Amino acid sequence: MRVSRCFLPVLKESPSDAQIVSHKLMLQAGLVRQTAAGIYAWLPIGFRVLKKIEQIVREEQDRAGAQEMLMPTIQSADLWRESGRYDAYGPEMLRITDRHKREMLYGPTNEEMLTALFRDDVNSYRDLPRTLYHIQWKFRDEVRPRFGVMRGREFLMKDAYSFDLDEAGARLSYYTQLLAYLRTFQRLGIQAVPMKAASGPIGGDLSHEFIVLAPTGESEVFYDAAFEEFDWAQGGLDYGDEAGLHGLFDRVSSTYAATDETHDEARWAEVPEARRRTGRGIEVGHIFYFGDKYSAAMGLKVSGQDGKPLTPMMGSYGIGVSRLVGAIIEASHDDKGIVWPAAVAPWQVGLVTMRGDDAASITAADDIYAKLTAAGVETLYDDRDERGGVKLGTQDLIGLPWQLIVGPRGLAAGTVELKNRKTGDKEELSIDSALTKLTS
Amino acid sequence: MRVSRCFLPVLKESPSDAQIVSHKLMLQAGLVRQTAAGIYAWLPIGFRVLKKIEQIVREEQDRAGAQEMLMPTIQSADLWRESGRYDAYGPEMLRITDRHKREMLYGPTNEEMLTALFRDDVNSYRDLPRTLYHIQWKFRDEVRPRFGVMRGREFLMKDAYSFDLDEAGARLSYYTQLLAYLRTFQRLGIQAVPMKAASGPIGGDLSHEFIVLAPTGESEVFYDAAFEEFDWAQGGLDYGDEAGLHGLFDRVSSTYAATDETHDEARWAEVPEARRRTGRGIEVGHIFYFGDKYSAAMGLKVSGQDGKPLTPMMGSYGIGVSRLVGAIIEASHDDKGIVWPAAVAPWQVGLVTMRGDDAASITAADDIYAKLTAAGVETLYDDRDERGGVKLGTQDLIGLPWQLIVGPRGLAAGTVELKNRKTGDKEELSIDSALTKLTS
């Protein structure tokens, strides 16, 4: 993509009205703009990051055997009366009356809707187990939206729902999602510690939050340093390996990690002092097992193998996709700007001409751009006739993994400069060597 | 995907409450379920089709130089007061009051929001021209939603917006989108005739609708048979070829095509009688040039090359992504079910065992499934222990381009049956030949 043809507005100054670093950087680097309190438009660069995260979440859900679908944003209030949550949910639910005076709402979550869909179409034990998910915008009318997309009102969530014939099956579905989450966060390039959690308004008795450590986190966290050496991707573990999934769950459960809500001083005291880690964290995922809470309330039944009706056991599994954009920045930035993990970077390479009015630089950079693009390397090419220093500052701010800098002096000697954004390391090398390095 | 692990509910009977064939088939084949009046959940098979259409729309927008972003669904009423459309829009706008009594709405379109975003971040003639688009859910509170997703209330739309320095530039942006639309619909496997249209509540003086011909269409259409031989993809024509784009527009404009709203009996009489075609059609796209209507009302200005302020000229360009699922079915089905164009089919091949309890069939089909999947051929494998006739009926209903049928009798002779859903042609061939045919 050529910057001269992009809608890529960058602010000269760090916005003073943003309180946390991710919010400041998302505004300054032109990822988002607020269009109403707690509601954001995703500009092209932010949109690209959002889509990358979404795609990794999707691939890991698919790999774990969950099937994608898409439920609407607007729901009928009657659906929520069936579960008893319509009145219980409180003012965070955006309630809407349509032109025919029907009570509707903007879905904050989808347990009711999917339970109803299942109830209408699934009849037999042979149709279970199933885990379905969707990635859809939700709305929670926060009383005081803040911290940008970290605590917005309209937000993108992946929510999955599992249906099983019995508790043993449902627990296995839960462990499967637990493993999928560990793999998802690892691929995103962040560490998210699973912590036993209170289940809140979703209900149920088994729940974990996934917490990214960051000084601006909303909750205090306590965890065993063992998580720092944890194999997050769980290398050889297969989704079909029942014993392995149980073993993973036992290991997570027996390694201390808790938020201030669930912190247990007695168990904490058992963790050797040198291994106690505390800090603040941001919730980026939350999974729940809640048995027959919704299936029983809403009359979802299937006929069992013996012909008798059975009430499926359920769980639900959320990842805050839009929130993750902020959380990743909180965990990965420096004083110059964002430092994207490669997996979610909007482009892999920022190509910059130091002199936008130098014909030799333009010819060389055009050629490099064509070659990188042809090789499938996502490249943002800053081809503007703008001061080199300004362009480099923008590059540091938007945080692509690599910067490839083309200047008249280097070109005269046959070289370009390749800079690693994360380490800051720079090397002078021939154009061919640079291309080889970036395309291999 | 194995049917035994899918959420793929198929109805035995054609639903009697649906009035048009696409709605009936979408319910019967399990593409969607209605969750409230005019609001639908997309089940896995429908979701896959929706995503395929979305991706083709996206690729053709990108190719035409438009840049993707994402605006939120909930907008502030104040934004619409600036353009004067808040009161004018009427009861089709879903109006919402949040917990702080602020007036909000569920966006039916995004001219106001993007004009405001541009106003805040774009200052110079150098930042133009730009065309931006997003693919986002919209809501129009239809008084009488019907025909399934064809006239639903919550619907997925691609809407693009162009900003140019002058009318000549804006017209070129319009022609660029016109070409992108022709290419998009051709790739989707349908013919959508561009027709001069009234511009309605969007405003402006240049507008085309894209109409798919189908007997259940909402409007009467009149067009010159020349469109039947039209080169929809406009092979050879480049987006940078200004004269070519003008030529395309002239050709479209001078070839008669109109809906009942814009039909002109005098011009119609000039079309030779043998070339007059009439019928009914479904609108699947609508493009508008409206000059400075929004930019002037909302105070969007950039400084021109001479330093003087300039009001950009705009256009907007919509494609009904969710509606297209229904429109394609209206245009492509038979009495057995849907006949998907390959480009949007949820899977390319339906693999069926005629006897789900026959070990040799299972072994052979498992092996074929593994090979097709490894070759990247999207395959739905009906591995259920269900009567062969039922499985074939489901295959015809869901309409994948190819059916590969594995039965004990054929296997004994070393053959499988390959059926083309569209033509109904069947051939017996060896497993290797079938694989070669499907993977080449």
Is A65 within 8 Å of B120 when comparing Cβ atoms? Answer: no
Is A36 within 8 Å of B6 when comparing Cβ atoms? Answer: no
Cis peptide before A346 (omega within 30 of 0): no
Is B73 within 8 Å of A104 when comparing Cβ atoms? Answer: no
pLDDT tier for residue A201 given thresholds of 50, 70 and 90: low
The pLDDT assigned to A136 comes to 98
Q: Is A90 left (phi over 0), alpha (psi -120 to 50) or beta?
A: left
Lookup: tokens for B40? 């639908």
pLDDT tier for residue A166 given thresholds of 50, 70 and 90: very high
Task: Tell me if A161 sits within 8 A of A107, measured CB to CB.
Answer: no
Chain A residues within an 8 Å CB radius of B33: 117, 120-121
Task: Tell me if A314 sits within 8 A of A295, measured CB to CB.
Answer: yes
Please give the residue of chain B at the shortest CA–CA distance from A39. Answer: B72
One-letter amino acid for residue A398 of the chain: I
Q: Which of B157, B79, B70, B76 is nearest to B112 (CA)?
A: B79
**According to the 3-state scheme, what is the secondary structure of B237-295?**
CCCCCHHHHHHHHHHHHHCCEEECCCCCHHHHHHCCHHHEEEEEEEEEEEEEEEECHHH
Of A9, A37, A99, the CB nearest to B141: A99
Rounded to the nearest angstrom, the gap between the alpha carbon of residue A207 and the centroid of all alpha carbons in its chain is: 19
pLDDT digits (tens, 9 = 90+) for B93-117: 999 999 999 999 999 999 999 999 9
Please give the residue of chain A at the shortest CA–CA distance from B119. Answer: A9
The pLDDT assigned to A229 comes to 87
Of A40, A46, A68, the CB nearest to B72: A40
Between vectors from CA A144 to CA A141 and to CA A148, what angle results, nearest 5°? 90
Please give the residue of chain B at the shortest CA–CA distance from A47. Answer: B69
Is A117 within 8 Å of B43 when comparing Cβ atoms? Answer: yes
Residue A232, pLDDT above cutoff 90: no
- Alpha-carbon span A27 to B89, nearest angstrom: 32
What is the overall mean pLDDT for chain A? 95
One-letter amino acid for residue A381 of the chain: Y
- Identify the structural domains of chain B with CATH numbers, from first to last: 3-338 (3.30.930.10), 347-439 (3.40.50.800)
Rounded to the nearest angstrom, the gap between the alpha carbon of residue A316 and the centroid of all alpha carbons in its chain is: 16
Lookup: tokens for A298? 């809403």
Task: Tell me if B193 sits within 8 A of B228, measured CB to CB.
Answer: no
Taking the CA of residue A392 and the nearest CA in chain B, the distance in Å comes to: 19
Of B4, B102, B117, the CB nearest to A41: B117
3-state SS class at A436: helix
Task: Tell me if B341 sits within 8 A of B188, measured CB to CB.
Answer: yes
Chain A residues within an 8 Å CB radius of B382: none
3-state SS class at B336: coil
3-state SS class at B42: strand
Q: Which of B237, B243, B232 is nearest to B210 (CA)?
A: B232
Is B153 within 8 Å of A42 when comparing Cβ atoms? Answer: no
- Alpha-carbon span A4 to B127, nearest angstrom: 7
Is B36 within 8 Å of A67 when comparing Cβ atoms? Answer: no
Task: Tell me if B30 sits within 8 A of B40, measured CB to CB.
Answer: no
Is A143 within 8 Å of B99 when comparing Cβ atoms? Answer: yes
Query: What sections of A132-288 are H helices per DSSP?
Result: 167-188, 242-254, 265-270
- Residue that has been written with the tokens 């796209």 in this structure: B285
3-state SS class at A19: coil
B321-331 helix and B44-63 helix, angle to the nearest 10 degrees: 110
pLDDT digits (tens, 9 = 90+) for B14-31: 998 888 999 999 999 999
Residues of chain B with pLDDT under 50: none
Is A94 within 8 Å of B94 when comparing Cβ atoms? Answer: no
Q: Do β-strands A415-420 and A426-430 pair in parallel, antiparallel, or remain unpaired?
A: antiparallel
Q: How many CB pairs under 8 A join A and B?
A: 160
Length of chain A counted residue by residue:
440
Q: How many CB atoms lie within 10 A of CB B436?
A: 11
Task: Tell me if A156 sits within 8 A of A292, measured CB to CB.
Answer: no
pLDDT tier for residue A289 given thresholds of 50, 70 and 90: very high
Chain A residues within an 8 Å CB radius of B390: none
Share of chain A above pLDDT 90, in %: 90
Q: How far is CA B146 from CA A100, A135, B363, in A?
A: 15, 26, 46
pLDDT tier for residue A432 given thresholds of 50, 70 and 90: very high
Taking the CA of residue B96 and the nearest CA in chain A, the distance in Å comes to: 6
Cis peptide before B194 (omega within 30 of 0): no
- Residue that has been written with the tokens 């069947």 in this structure: B426
The ipTM assigned to this model is: 0.96
Is B42 within 8 Å of A70 when comparing Cβ atoms? Answer: yes
The pLDDT assigned to A332 comes to 94
- Alpha-carbon span A74 to B116, nearest angstrom: 26
Task: Tell me if B291 sits within 8 A of B314, measured CB to CB.
Answer: yes
Query: What sections of B110-257 are H helices per DSSP?
Result: 111-121, 167-188, 242-254
Q: Which of A198, A32, A112, A352 is nearest to B121 (CA)?
A: A32
Please give the residue of chain A at the shortest CA–CA distance from B4. Answer: A127
- Alpha-carbon span A118 to A124, nearest angstrom: 11
Is A47 within 8 Å of B41 when comparing Cβ atoms? Answer: no
Of A72, A139, A141, the CB nearest to B154: A72
- Alpha-carbon span B393 to B337, nearest angstrom: 9
Q: Which of A336, A320, A350 is nearest to A149 (CA)?
A: A320
- Alpha-carbon span B409 to A137, nearest angstrom: 51
Of A37, A50, A72, the CB nearest to B39: A72
Kind plus residue range of the DSSP H or E element containing B221: strand B219-224
One-letter amino acid for residue A341 of the chain: P
pLDDT tier for residue A204 given thresholds of 50, 70 and 90: low
- Alpha-carbon span B421 to B26, nearest angstrom: 17
DSSP 8-class letter at B151: B
Is A72 within 8 Å of B35 when comparing Cβ atoms? Answer: yes
φ/ψ of A125, rounded to 5, equals -55, -25
3-state SS class at B328: helix
Q: How many CA atoms lie within 13 A of B436 on its CB side?
A: 5
B167-188 helix and B242-254 helix, angle to the nearest 10 degrees: 70
Is A47 within 8 Å of B70 when comparing Cβ atoms? Answer: yes
Please give the residue of chain B at the shortest CA–CA distance from A65. Answer: B5
Q: Do β-strands A337-338 and A333-334 pair in parallel, antiparallel, or remain unpaired?
A: antiparallel
Task: Tell me if A418 sits within 8 A of A404, measured CB to CB.
Answer: yes
Lookup: tokens for A86? 């319509």
The pLDDT assigned to A80 comes to 97
Is A139 within 8 Å of B30 when comparing Cβ atoms? Answer: no
Q: Which of B33, B92, B73, B148 is nearest to A100 (CA)?
A: B92
Of B41, B104, B153, the CB nearest to A71: B41
pLDDT tier for residue A403 given thresholds of 50, 70 and 90: very high
Task: Tell me if A79 sits within 8 A of A106, measured CB to CB.
Answer: no
pLDDT digits (tens, 9 = 90+) for A320-362: 999 999 999 999 999 999 999 999 999 999 999 999 899 999 9
Q: Which of A340, A341, A364, A338 is nearest to A351 (CA)?
A: A364
